[in-house]
């Protein structure tokens, strides 16, 4: 930026008066949105409406490049994932053109891949936003670049007018002053527009503007009004031109700090004039944000003898406003991070609490299966209980697993599936629950196989069947058919119910859309079922459609999936390796889960001891010789991790095979379990056959 110059000397006014930093005129600037998704474009346009600028939206990279040939823009909001030319390629071409080389680019995407973010920054992006995002944060970021673009444009016009109206010397001086202030503002903006997740900005901001704006400067937090020790961040230019904290006992520092406290209280900018009348030697401006004050920003001229002009005061006011926005954004970001952390902790705890009763139910169902005969009347009910318990466990995984909630993923376990069997099992579950008693149900199936997740596909059939029953009056007919159509497996669920209004058909699979129509009450529910159907079908590479001849004439929902060849050997659960009876210790604080697991293992011939706490578990381990120890991680008092660590220090503890059985299933929980000495980590509810397999594998190991 060149050597420091006295800010009162670099501007020479022909009339002798101080020139304002910026012209008063305000012109709308262009903001370019590039996104192939109509809904996303409209959402971003809506957020930016309050800026009262010219918002231009295009649907492709090529259209963006064509627009930039003839138009200047303040900032570009660029979607990453677009067909033909993606956001990265578009950004690279924008940077190749001299006219658009320095245009700020903010990437907007739902993809949280850090490698993509790094690539965006390597292409010169000023920020990388992950959607969904807070509208105020987007507006704030865009506003910074809009104001910067306007200032550049206004400054250019200002310089041109000065060249025309003033002498060459005055014009040159004005240009120097303008360039200096723009340089200061550009440096400050560079600091203020860093990624929100970056660290403290106060010190970096002062380093960016000193010594050009002051000999002494500081950012004083609002806490200074409550605590004398909270003086904030201060820097001073020493005699050698280096930046360092001001020495203690400097009278001017105390005077400015007192002024900062007054400014925080009054929320009004204050200037400090020299007693000899030579001009203003200090400026203190409030940091306003959302109706309150975050603190104050102070600048002072000391040994250099420089003085501030009116333009300098406006520059300080502008810097203070921008600094307040940046500080407030970072405060909001930290608040959001803290809320996310608490949310993650809550979801993890909720998942643990839900999985405990699921474990007890699953174990009890396995015990009933062990004790019951395969040909009695309860065999089908036991099968339904086991299958639905597994299904419910999968739902808990999707709804409460923190990693999947934050990334929006639904895991699909692909394997050959008999589509007709899926439809049959879903219908059996409805029959067993009495949901089909008031309707005529017809099932038509042909043998057809697909590659997919049986549990997810059963969820698809169940949601479609539930939808048909809900909108069909008592005595109506519902037909479920599974057939092969060329290379596709086709599921059709048709009914004689109220039908779907023509206006609703295009939106029937959208989120929160619920049925109804003339003369009908709005259906119960949140309108999530059919949205989930579409998402699950698409994850299987298929498509879903809805047909209806109109209200009162029924409806038909059609799912099409890629068909596959029948497997050579029908898929069947793996048979666990044979395991000889062993001594097993169970440490579990949930009584139902503990007792049902004990009974299940004893029915397999094992000798089982149980403990309800970590302390009791360690006492049992000291007095007994166990082959396996099944330990819950979320124990009260001494948790499962500590139990494992202490058990490993016992004389015979190294020979015990430790298995963590817990409702905590995050990757960090698995890593902690491994570090504590566990040999395996199983998430509740544990599949019985899987548990037997793990026991057998650990025995052979």
pLDDT (average), residues 79-91 = 88
Band of residue 202 on the pLDDT scale cut at 50, 70, 90:
confident
Q: What is the pLDDT of residue 230?
A: 60
Domain ranges of the chain: 1-194, 196-308, 410-564, 583-700
533: closest CA among 585, 500, 493, 497?
Answer: 493
Band of residue 586 on the pLDDT scale cut at 50, 70, 90:
very high
Among 2-6, 109-113, 130-134, 464-468, whose mean pLDDT is lowest? 2-6
- 553 versus 411: which is more confidently predicted? 553
Among 15-19, 174-178, 193-197, 660-664, whose mean pLDDT is lowest? 15-19
Residue 19 to residues 71, 320, 399, Cα–Cα distance (Å)? 30, 20, 61
Alpha carbons 495 and 241: distance in angstroms, whole number: 84
582: closest CA among 701, 695, 700?
Answer: 695
Give DSSP secondary structure letters for 106-123.
Answer: EEEES---HHHHHHHHHT
Band of residue 687 on the pLDDT scale cut at 50, 70, 90:
confident
- Average of per-residue pLDDT values in the chain: 80
pLDDT (average), residues 320-342 = 81
Band of residue 14 on the pLDDT scale cut at 50, 70, 90:
very low
Band of residue 196 on the pLDDT scale cut at 50, 70, 90:
low
pLDDT at position 133 over 50 = yes
Q: What is the pLDDT of residue 630?
A: 95
128: closest CA among 401, 15, 137, 176?
Answer: 137
CATH class of 583-700: alpha beta
Residue 20 to residues 11, 138, 158, 312, 517, Cα–Cα distance (Å)? 10, 30, 10, 8, 64
Q: What is the pLDDT of residue 264?
A: 87
pLDDT (average), residues 67-95 = 89
pLDDT at position 56 over 90 = yes
pLDDT (average), residues 356-373 = 75
pLDDT at position 58 over 90 = yes
- Find residue 127's DSSP bridge partners: 106
Helix (H) or strand (E) holding 546: strand 543-547
pLDDT (average), residues 60-87 = 90
3-state secondary structure of 222: helix
Beta carbons within 10 angstroms of residue 76's beta carbon: 27
pLDDT (average), residues 370-386 = 71
What pTM, to 2 d.p., does this model score? 0.41
CATH, domain 410-564, list 3.30.565.10, 3.40.50.10440, 3.40.109.10, 1.10.443.10: 3.30.565.10
- Find residue 682's DSSP bridge partners: 661
Q: Is 196-308 CATH 1.10.287?
A: no
Q: What is the pLDDT of residue 511?
A: 61
Question: What does DSSP say about strands 233-237 and 216-221: parallel, antiparallel, or unpaired?
Answer: antiparallel
Contact 699, 576 (CB under 8 A): no
Among 269-278, 281-290, 335-344, 611-620, whose mean pLDDT is lowest? 335-344
By CB atoms closer than 10 A (0-12, 13-18, 19+), residue 54 is: middle
Contact 272, 259 (CB under 8 A): yes
pLDDT (average), residues 581-610 = 89
Residues of the chain with pLDDT > 90, as a percent, come to: 21
CATH number corresponding to 1-194: 3.40.50.2300
648: closest CA among 673, 669, 667?
Answer: 673
Q: What is the pLDDT of residue 451?
A: 95
Alpha carbons 71 and 64: distance in angstroms, whole number: 10
pLDDT at position 419 over 80 = yes
Beta carbons within 10 angstroms of residue 423's beta carbon: 25
- What are the tokens at 83? 């067909």
Do 1-194 and 583-700 fold alike per CATH? yes
């Amino acid at each position: 930026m060149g050597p420091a110059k006295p800010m009162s000397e670099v501007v020479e006014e022909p009339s002798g008066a101080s020139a304002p930093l910026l012209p008063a005129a305000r012109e709308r600037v262009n903001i370019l949105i590039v996104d192939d998704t109509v809904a996303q474009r409209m959402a971003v346009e809506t957020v930016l409406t309050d800026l009262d600028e010219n918002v231009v939206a295009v649907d492709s990279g090529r259209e963006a490049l064509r627009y930039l040939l003839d138009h200047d823009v303040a900032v570009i909001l660029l979607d990453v994932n677009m067909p033909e030319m993606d956001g990265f390629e578009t950004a690279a071409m924008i940077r190749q053109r001299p006219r658009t080389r320095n245009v700020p680019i903010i990437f907007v995407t739902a993809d949280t891949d850090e490698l993509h973010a790094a690539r965006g920054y390597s292409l010169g992006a000023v920020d990388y936003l992950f959607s969904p995002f807070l509208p105020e944060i987007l507006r704030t970021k865009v506003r910074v670049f809009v104001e910067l673009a306007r200032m550049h444009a206004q400054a250019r016009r200002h310089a041109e007018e000065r060249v025309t109206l003033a002498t060459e010397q005055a014009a040159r001086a004005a240009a120097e002053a303008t360039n200096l202030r723009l340089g200061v503002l550009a440096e400050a903006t560079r600091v203020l527009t860093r990624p929100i997740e970056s660290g403290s900005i106060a010190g970096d901001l002062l380093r960016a503007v000193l010594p050009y704006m002051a000999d002494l400067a500081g950012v004083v937090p609002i806490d200074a009004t409550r605590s004398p020790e909270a003086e904030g961040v201060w820097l001073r230019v020493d005699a050698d031109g280096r930046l360092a904290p001001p020495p203690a006992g400097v009278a001017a520092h105390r005077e400015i700090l007192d002024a900062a406290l007054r400014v925080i209280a009054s929320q009004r900018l204050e200037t400090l004039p020299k007693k000899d009348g030579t001009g203003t030697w200090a400026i203190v401006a409030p940091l306003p944000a959302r109706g309150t004050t975050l603190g104050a920003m102070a600048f002072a001229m000391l040994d250099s003898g420089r003085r501030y002009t009116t333009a300098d005061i406006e520059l300080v006011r502008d810097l203070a406003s921008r600094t307040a926005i940046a500080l407030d954004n970072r405060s909001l970001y930290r608040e959001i991070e803290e809320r996310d952390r608490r949310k993650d902790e809550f979801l993890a705890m909720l998942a643990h609490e839900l999985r405990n009763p699921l474990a007890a139910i699953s174990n009890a169902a396995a015990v009933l299966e062990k004790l019951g005969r395969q040909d009695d009347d309860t065999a089908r009910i036991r099968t339904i209980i086991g299958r639905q318990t597994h299904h419910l466990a999968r739902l808990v995984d999707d709804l409460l697993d923190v990693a999947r909630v934050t990334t929006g993923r639904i895991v699909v376990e692909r394997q050959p599936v008999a589509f007709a069997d899926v439809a049959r099992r879903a219908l059996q579950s409805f029959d067993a629950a009495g949901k089909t008693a008031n309707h005529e149900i017809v099932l038509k199936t042909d043998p057809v196989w697909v590659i997919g997740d049986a549990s997810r596909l059963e969820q698809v059939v169940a949601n479609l069947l539930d939808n048909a029953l809900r909108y069909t009056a008592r005595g109506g007919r519902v037909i479920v058919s599974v057939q092969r159509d060329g290379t596709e497996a086709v599921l059709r669920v048709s009914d004689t119910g109220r039908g779907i209004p023509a206006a609703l058909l295009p939106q029937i699979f959208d989120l929160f859309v619920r049925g109804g129509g003339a003369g009908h009450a709005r259906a119960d529910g949140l309108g999530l079922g059919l949205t989930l159907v579409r998402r699950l079908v698409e994850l299987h590479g298929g498509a879903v459609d809805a047909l209806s001849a109109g209200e009162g004439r029924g409806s038909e929902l059609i799912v099409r999936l890629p068909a596959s060849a029948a497997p050579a050997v029908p898929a069947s659960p793996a048979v666990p390796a044979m395991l000889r009876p062993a001594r097993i210790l169970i440490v579990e604080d949930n009584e139902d889960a503990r007792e049902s697991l004990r009974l299940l293992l004893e029915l397999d011939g094992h000798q089982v001891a149980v403990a309800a706490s970590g302390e009791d578990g360690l006492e049992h381990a000291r007095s007994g010789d166990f082959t396996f120890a099944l330990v819950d991680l979320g124990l009260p008092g001494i948790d499962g991790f500590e139990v494992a660590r202490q058990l490993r220090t016992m004389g015979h503890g190294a020979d015990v095979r430790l298995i963590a059985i817990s409702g905590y299933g995050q990757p960090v929980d698995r890593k902690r379990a491994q570090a504590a000495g566990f040999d395996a980590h199983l998430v509740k509810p544990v599949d019985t056959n899987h548990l037997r397999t793990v026991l057998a594998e650990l025995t052979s190991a």
